[in-house]
Structure 1
Amino acid sequence: MSEQTAVLVLIDIASGSRLWGFSRYIFGKFAFRGVPGLVFCKILGSGFNGGFSTKPSLTKQGFFCVFDTKQNAEIFQQTSPTVNAYRSHANEFFIATLYAYSSRGSWSGFSINNLSSPPESGPIASLTRASIRPFKAVQFWAKAKPAEQAIKEASGSILTAGLGEAPYFRQATFTIWENLKSIDAYAQSGAHLSAIKAAYGENYFSESMFTRFKVGSASGVWQGKYVQIP
């Protein structure tokens, strides 16, 4: 069976491209129609300053795609007019190639295949997303802010992004860590652990997906920080 490959792009829209950026939320999905091997795609916004916030960012956004094979993902990154358009309209541009090794749950009914073996070393990426039940939103966001602060203070954190399909109710987070030890230390302690226990114990989500990836490659700038892997 072919290995599914995910591609994540994050950008901060250049000052002269704000109208183009806003149009992505309305027309962006049409640019992905007919892309060879594409099995899943989401256009994403971001929280204020690219973090986890009920206040949306006016400039930071991106997209998350899954392809049926590594080859189709590579072709998309190298030749797609869509990738080039995001890059040309960006003040900051970041792109990552990812291979899921652990995933549970779904995103709009789509589940990622766990075809990659767990990594023995090297950077780990994590994507968590959830559809928040409206009557649980206040409790969820009360837990989210301390968890965000904990990421900033965590050892081994390389990159963090607060993302979402829609403000307040359909949220996602993407992070990259130096290794498995550092992400486990964050996930199993403090504010994050408290938030996860509350989410499951109090049934915050109508749908959720939690995925960990091996990082095939990652490069670019996000929140003023340059990242290059490998």
Structure 2
Amino acid sequence: MTQVVSLSFYRFEGVFARLWAFAMMGLARRSMSRVAGIGFWKLCGSGTGEGFTPRPNFGVYAILCTWPDLAAARAAQATAPVFAGYAARASEHWTLYMTTDSVRGAWSGETPFVPGAGRSDVPLAALTRATIKPSILARFWRRVPDISAVIGRDPNVVFKIGIGEVPWLHQVTFSIWPDAARMADFARTGPHAEAIRAVRTEGWFREELYARFSLLDEDGTWGGTSPLQQLERP
């Protein structure tokens, strides 16, 4: 069997729905741990805009999980009460299903993703996760707007968002690209490359993880459509 990673995004409108979603960052933990077939999982909030800011966005949340296979992932999304609760209260939700091409580093002391056979015929996703040292928080968040602006202007990026388990200290970036070459071009240049050099020379992170995925499938919409539709151009 090939491990499958799901990443679900939920958008909430209205005060009561947003209060419910915020409370579930703590209350959903017991329910998540009881979902059949689930492996590693994380409940995440987001930042304002596309998530690349230190100001929390109380209208967008994400759930990342690992599963033994695609069938288990789909079954849980369709039948587990915790996912049904999120879907029922969200104004919109979108789930991606992926396999891991490569991973290095750790997340909460473990390496949660199991690489399989990489694919070259599907879009790719990149995920970075870091625990930021409190002493460099100001420097880190000064860098982020520059990186966000550059990635926002890049015509090759299909989707991008910043999420995290704990505001300011834990940061997850997630982006989707047509292929590995265009993903690598972005990573090697500009503010992103400068930030990576600073991470290495100044030791910004207590813990870090970098993973690349092949996209398998999707459910739902984001912004009224599938962000992957732009990849269907001839």
TM category, shorter: over 0.9
Q: Does 1:150 align with 2:150?
A: yes
**Separation (CA, whole Å) in 2 of partners of 1:223 and 1:150:** 21
Query: Which letter maps to 1:12?
Result: R
Offset at residue 223 of structure 1 (A)? 5.2
Aligned twin of 2:5: 6
CA contact (8 A) 2:120 2:179 kept: no
Offset at residue 126 of structure 1 (A)? 1.0
**Separation (CA, whole Å) in 2 of partners of 1:42 and 1:112:** 11
CA contact (8 A) 2:158 2:228 kept: no
Could you list the per-position Cα deviations for residues 16-73 of structure 1 after superposition, in whole angstroms to 9, with x for gaps in the alignment?
5122112111202122122222121111000013421110002111111112333322
Offset at residue 80 of structure 1 (A)? 2.1
**Separation (CA, whole Å) in 1 of partners of 2:12 and 2:154:** 28
Gaps of 5+ in 1: none
1:166 match: secondary structure: coil
1:197 match: secondary structure: helix
Alignment of 1:116-155 (within 5 A): 116-155=116-155
**Separation (CA, whole Å) in 2 of partners of 1:118 and 1:226:** 23
**Separation (CA, whole Å) in 1 of partners of 2:57 and 2:159:** 17
Could you list the per-position Cα deviations for residues 143-186 of structure 1 after superposition, in whole angstroms to 9, with x for gaps in the alignment?
11111111111121111111011111111011111221221111
Aligned twin of 1:210: 210
User: Are the structure 2 counterparts of residues 170 and 113 from structure 1 closer, same or farther at C-alpha, using a change threshold of 3 Å?
Assistant: closer
User: Are the structure 2 counterparts of residues 225 and 186 from structure 1 closer, same or farther at C-alpha, using a change threshold of 3 Å?
Assistant: farther
Q: Among the aligned pairs, what percent are the same residue?
A: 28
Aligned twin of 1:79: 79
**Separation (CA, whole Å) in 1 of partners of 2:144 and 2:72:** 35
Offset at residue 14 of structure 1 (A)? 2.5
**Separation (CA, whole Å) in 1 of partners of 2:153 and 2:50:** 16
TM-score, structure 1 as length reference: 0.92
**Separation (CA, whole Å) in 2 of partners of 1:102 and 1:74:** 23
**Separation (CA, whole Å) in 1 of partners of 2:132 and 2:116:** 29
- Residue-pair matches, total: 229
CA contact (8 A) 1:100 1:112 kept: no
Offset at residue 130 of structure 1 (A)? 0.3
Alignment of 1:182-221 (within 5 A): 182-221=182-221
Query: Which letter maps to 1:14?
Result: E
Aligned twin of 2:60: 60
**Separation (CA, whole Å) in 1 of partners of 2:82 and 2:48:** 24
Offset at residue 113 of structure 1 (A)? 4.1
Q: Answer with 70-79 or 206-215: which moved more.
A: 70-79
User: Are the structure 2 counterparts of residues 61 and 113 from structure 1 closer, same or farther at C-alpha, using a change threshold of 3 Å?
Assistant: closer
Higher strand share: 1
Offset at residue 77 of structure 1 (A)? 2.1
Offset at residue 124 of structure 1 (A)? 0.4
Query: Which letter maps to 1:11?
Result: Y
**Separation (CA, whole Å) in 1 of partners of 2:33 and 2:113:** 22
Query: Which letter maps to 1:97?
Result: Y
Alignment root-mean-square deviation, CA: 1.8
TM-score, structure 2 as length reference: 0.91
2:144 match: secondary structure: helix
CA contact (8 A) 1:220 1:227 kept: no
CA contact (8 A) 2:4 2:70 kept: yes
Aligned twin of 2:181: 181
